[in-house]
Structure 1
């Protein structure tokens, strides 16, 4: 029986709590939040203990914890959890700075504990299927992957702009599907309804002739979550929301067989398996750091109006 806790019971944290409470072989040992009324309500609903101080929850003998707090708080909460000998899943982005990400990665290594980053789209059945299709060679060499992640602004997002909040999903997915690190970034963005950027067009380069394009905003009145992968033998169209993948080539238009499932449930089930077996997670801390580096480079690019080399 794995004993797990959740720190942060906002919109996303509540989903972590719900899913853990339904898992076999997992005991939801506690939930923590600075909002006492909310955390007590959650604890009552899901028949667990409530804590306003997460360190007191650690004393309950946790094996693993989900950290679902604002990005600026990730570093300290994760370091405290690792110091307590607890496996950690931290929501994306991994941290607010690459320096803090490095501290978290080093702490996990020293503690010999898992640090997994919640890049949930890797656990979307459509993305899993497209990765299989790309690896099989059906589309041939992939030369361009473009994404559209747009929709109305969510007022609960106050500490980061659209690139770090939702654009980072597609930055990670593009790198994951190619199986390559992103070398350089050029972005055009602006802030029109938010204190941080609320729309961005980002061009990514891997090696010399592999391209990625991310279009994202908080201005579109309806939600769109789509990806197009162009190969020399065909094109794949993926819909994150409907969990569909359609392939087009010179002869056929085919729909891939995708079994729909909840990405977060897939992700947390995988995390629990890693915690139980000790196997290295994917995405790991280094993956989370790379996505953060690219997102930060995109922000720097639009602010300075120039191409930015990643990690330099």
Structure 2
């Protein structure tokens, strides 16, 4: 049975612990412990999920572990990930993989050298509606897809202080659009600004992504909208698709009909963690390896550069 742990049990880490706990009750994993710098929080979560609390992730690293989820602030991803990777523990690190390209590359290199599984938690790849849209595109229901636009907006997230909205939220749709096109971003142009965020990081952005063969993507994201919206539109030569991430709903139109896809709704995080466990257990390559996380981070950083310079920037 796979022995797992969670480092960082704030909003997202709590749900990682919850899913592992559910899987533990099903006899699929053993939740060894949870760690958080706020020990009261760690104790509260550990008590709820019948596991052991740690104030220091290094103490959890001394336990017998096969895999961990890392859900600490982005600026701490490298130091925490390396602690476990260098001890032969596989890692699911929440998106983005790191706050800098250099740190992301160090994480990837360490995972390769220590022969452990590294997966990046771009959760929307495991959203059933996204997977259904990918399937529909591959079946040719939209013809050739030429543009994809996404809107990810909502209220201010005060808990996010170490990065702005492009790296925190924009990466979701940068990754999904790249996944749907099955291509890397070649060029990026962005406009961004800070209106309300107390740390002065950008809290609204519009990002245009250039792919090969004239295909394009647009990501609109902000922390200014009073209600949460998570949608995506894919335009093809033979039809158009409207996707709602939250409702897990996909509707496709063409000249003759309107059709709602049958989406087998399921919690994306559970799908993600089950996939991670399968990869660790069977030594499979994860759907989102470190290289995918690195590319998405590169695009986000180039978007920040573009917004600063007010010009189109090439992506390596």
Same-fold call, TM > 0.5?
yes
Aligned to 1:98: 101
Aligned to 1:192: 195
Structure 2 counterpart of 1:121, from 124, 135, 160: 124
TM-score by length of 1: 0.98
Question: Do structure 1's residue 266 and structure 2's residue 271 form an aligned pair?
Answer: yes
Aligned to 1:275: 280
Is the Cα contact below 8 Å between 2:231 and 2:244 reproduced in 1? yes
Aligned to 1:5: 5
Question: Do structure 1's residue 210 and structure 2's residue 233 form an aligned pair?
Answer: no
Following the alignment from structure 1 to structure 2, what is the Cα–Cα distance between the partners of residues 165 and 190? 14
1:138 CA drift (Å): 1.2
Aligned to 1:286: 291
Question: Do structure 1's residue 71 and structure 2's residue 74 form an aligned pair?
Answer: yes
SS where residue 278 of structure 2 aligns? helix
Following the alignment from structure 1 to structure 2, what is the Cα–Cα distance between the partners of residues 6 and 159? 20
Following the alignment from structure 1 to structure 2, what is the Cα–Cα distance between the partners of residues 200 and 54? 34
Structure 1 counterpart of 2:142, from 135, 139, 146: 139
1:279 CA drift (Å): 0.3
Aligned to 1:28: 31
Aligned to 1:221: 226
Following the alignment from structure 2 to structure 1, what is the Cα–Cα distance between the partners of residues 173 and 162? 20
Residue range with higher mean Cα deviation, 162-171 or 41-50: 41-50
Is the Cα contact below 8 Å between 2:61 and 2:83 reproduced in 1? no
1:178 CA drift (Å): 0.3
Aligned to 1:253: 258
1:208 CA drift (Å): 3.7
Aligned to 2:163: 160
SS where residue 47 of structure 2 aligns? helix
Following the alignment from structure 1 to structure 2, what is the Cα–Cα distance between the partners of residues 111 and 124? 30
Aligned to 2:179: 176
For structure 2, list consecutive stretches of 5 or more residues without a partner in the other structure.
none
Question: Do structure 1's residue 107 and structure 2's residue 115 form an aligned pair?
Answer: no
How many residue pairs get aligned? The number is 311
Residue range with higher mean Cα deviation, 150-159 or 94-103: 150-159
Aligned to 2:86: 83
Aligned to 1:309: 314
SS where residue 154 of structure 2 aligns? strand
The runs of at least 4 aligned residues of structure 1 exceeding 3 Å deviation read none
Aligned to 1:295: 300
Aligned to 1:244: 249
SS where residue 246 of structure 2 aligns? coil
Once superposed, what is the RMSD of the aligned Cα atoms?
Answer: 0.8
1:299 CA drift (Å): 0.6
Following the alignment from structure 1 to structure 2, what is the Cα–Cα distance between the partners of residues 45 and 252? 49
CA displacement 1:131-165 (0-9 Å, x = unmatched): 00011111111100000111111111111111111
